[in-house]
Structure 1
Amino acid sequence: MNARLGPDDTGWLYTAEGHVGPCRVKVLASAVTAAPEARARFHREAETLRGLRHPGIVRVLAVGEERGHCWYALEPVMAPDLETRLNRLNALPCQEVERLALRLLDALGAAHDVGLVHGDVRPQNILLAKDGAMLTNFGLSLVPPGAHAYQAPEQRQWGRAVPQSDLHALGHVLHEALTGGLPGTQPLPHGVPRHLRRLLKSLLAEAIQDRPDSASSARRLLTQRAPLGLLAVGIAALLALVMFLLLRAA
């Protein structure tokens, strides 16, 4: 280990140089993986994460355990996190937030498809790389309940996250990116497109069953526009009205 970067709710992050080269190492607090089933779950989920390749997810390079501490090594992505950007700018333009939503929904969908949840989606765990946002510092299913305000109600109550918990947390992140504050503290500004408002309303639903059932379903809420058939009907009706008015005036 070269330098300790700082703690979070499950452990500490270090810079390091190992057999995988320069990296960042997440070392989980011993209390988090004290129970044998928690350690087994960590190794199972971290190895699955190690095999995951997605441009929106920081790669896990190695996984291990030493002196009772579980750890995993991450590729060293040199990019600011979303928390730093929001502290500087307060809020982001709608188009940038929409791009952020699409990228993160794709990344979460890739994780959920292999049975993983992030469990700790919040601005400081979203890196703004040149090629697009990247999720890092997966908490897996080990983030303690009530650790931060982005957690979904069921995560605070049960102490375990599910895919819809990640989607709920992402709703908080996107709201903060648009307003500079969490839901309930800052209203959405005028000019937020209807499809983006529709996505946020769905993601922030308190009950799991009222949220999208998957990241891909949430993505469709964001990308769907007026169906082409309805648009064609509307145009045809408008043309008919114009022709009627012209004929009456003749």
Structure 2
Amino acid sequence: MSSTGEPPRLLGGRYHLEYVLGKGGMGVVYRARDLLHEQLGEACSPVALKLLGEPFAQCPDAHVLLFSEFALARSLRHPRVVRMFSFEVDTQSQIAFFTMEWLQGLTLDRLLLECPDGLPWRELQPMALQLLDALGYTHQQNVLHGDVKPANVMVGQEGVCLFDFGLGCAQAQVASLSSLSRSRFNAWTPAYAAPELREGGALSAAADVYGVACIIYELAHGKRLGKHAPMDRLTCPRQLPRRCWSALRVALATDPQQRTITVAELGRAMSCKRPRWYL
């Protein structure tokens, strides 16, 4: 990093940083031009490039945490999950970074600001099903996202896309790749983090279920659930069909032992498919 905290405009001899796309609890994501691809004939070759922000860039083992995010998500191949490209270290600045698919569209948190009364079911349902499909796929690949919230969901012309696995981990992970523990910084977003995570518990598939259920509730209600909302007083959101409410209510349970629904089961409930009693 320079004395101003800004990275050089050219990284890896090929990636020209254009502007900041977003900042998270740990990293900064830029839109960058891949000059090598442009020299080989591509008219425009944008990528998203993530590097560590201050003060994490100063930690001696922070680059390992950045690599762990890349390694976790690089094998995922799903149209609703961001694609990872490469992990590199700029030799001159010694800045570690990785490149990934540049997503066009609007993050879901910004979309929700424009919909204070929630989305109509005809718009909400396909969005919810696509998001559940993406999260269900990651769970099938034994990957936990860890930070399911509207700011980590892109909405574009081709649908939604889930990104930012910075707080994720493998379900069967025995030891972290990094000695920089995630518990050293408060990265959870309280409105979408499962209660057990806010209390210091371990990440689980049930925690991801809670996060995606909070998103669906907000899409249908227009307002956040709230981390202290009493479950016994929750009512079916105005934009949600009543036959979907029982499943969503289970997914919103504050006690993880009572959150007995999987992402796939929640997806089937949101599809509202009635059982066929004949062949």
After TM superposition, is the score higher than 0.5? yes
Equivalent-residue separation in structure 2 for 1:195 and 1:70 (angstroms)? 49
Q: Structure 2 vs 1, CA of residues 43 and 140 (structure 1 numbering), >3 Å: closer, same or farther?
A: same
- Kindly provide the amino acid, as one letter, of the partner of residue 47 in structure 1: A
Are the equivalent residues in 2 in contact too, given 1:171–1:204 (CA < 8 A)?
Answer: yes
Q: Structure 2 vs 1, CA of residues 145 and 13 (structure 1 numbering), >3 Å: closer, same or farther?
A: closer
Equivalent-residue separation in structure 1 for 2:95 and 2:262 (angstroms)? 33
Does residue 117 (structure 1) correspond to residue 173 (structure 2)? The answer is no
Give the number of equivalent residue pairs: 229
Are the equivalent residues in 2 in contact too, given 1:152–1:168 (CA < 8 A)?
Answer: yes
Larger mean CA deviation between 113-122 and 50-59 belongs to: 113-122
Equivalent-residue separation in structure 1 for 2:198 and 2:53 (angstroms)? 19
Deviations 1:164-197, CA, capped at 9 Å, x for gaps: 2111111111111111111257954446212321
Does residue 171 (structure 1) correspond to residue 213 (structure 2)? The answer is yes
Are the equivalent residues in 1 in contact too, given 2:30–2:48 (CA < 8 A)?
Answer: yes
Are the equivalent residues in 2 in contact too, given 1:198–1:222 (CA < 8 A)?
Answer: no
1:103 CA drift (Å): 0.8
SS at match of 1:77: coil
Q: Structure 2 vs 1, CA of residues 199 and 70 (structure 1 numbering), >3 Å: closer, same or farther?
A: farther
Choose which of 135, 139, 143 in structure 2 pairs with 1:108: 135
Choose which of 189, 205, 222 in structure 1 pairs with 2:253: 205
Choose which of 267, 274, 279 in structure 2 pairs with 1:219: 267
Who wins on radius of gyration, i.e. which is larger? 1
Choose which of 3, 8, 16 in structure 1 pairs with 2:32: 16
Are the equivalent residues in 1 in contact too, given 2:144–2:204 (CA < 8 A)?
Answer: yes
Does residue 74 (structure 1) correspond to residue 100 (structure 2)? The answer is yes
1:40 CA drift (Å): 4.5
- Kindly provide the amino acid, as one letter, of the partner of residue 150 in structure 1: Y
Does residue 152 (structure 1) correspond to residue 194 (structure 2)? The answer is yes
Please report the RMSD computed on the Cα atoms of aligned residues, expressed in angstroms: 2.9
Choose which of 27, 42, 47 in structure 1 pairs with 2:51: 27
Equivalent-residue separation in structure 1 for 2:65 and 2:150 (angstroms)? 25
**1:128 match:** 155
SS at match of 1:209: coil
Equivalent-residue separation in structure 2 for 1:162 and 1:227 (angstroms)? 30
Paired-residue identity, %? 28
> Structure 1: where are the runs of 5+ without partners?
233-250
**2:8 match:** none
Deviations 1:32-54, CA, capped at 9 Å, x for gaps: 58474x75465344224122111
Question: After superposition, where does 1:60-71 map in structure 2 within 5 Å?
Answer: 60-65=84-89, 70-71=96-97
Structure number with the higher helix fraction is 1
**1:58 match:** 82
Deviations 1:195-241, CA, capped at 9 Å, x for gaps: 32123202111122222453222223334655434xx7xxxxxxxxx
Q: Structure 2 vs 1, CA of residues 41 and 170 (structure 1 numbering), >3 Å: closer, same or farther?
A: same
TM-score by length of 2: 0.70
Are the equivalent residues in 1 in contact too, given 2:190–2:198 (CA < 8 A)?
Answer: no
Are the equivalent residues in 2 in contact too, given 1:29–1:69 (CA < 8 A)?
Answer: no
> Structure 2: where are the runs of 5+ without partners?
1-16, 38-44, 169-181
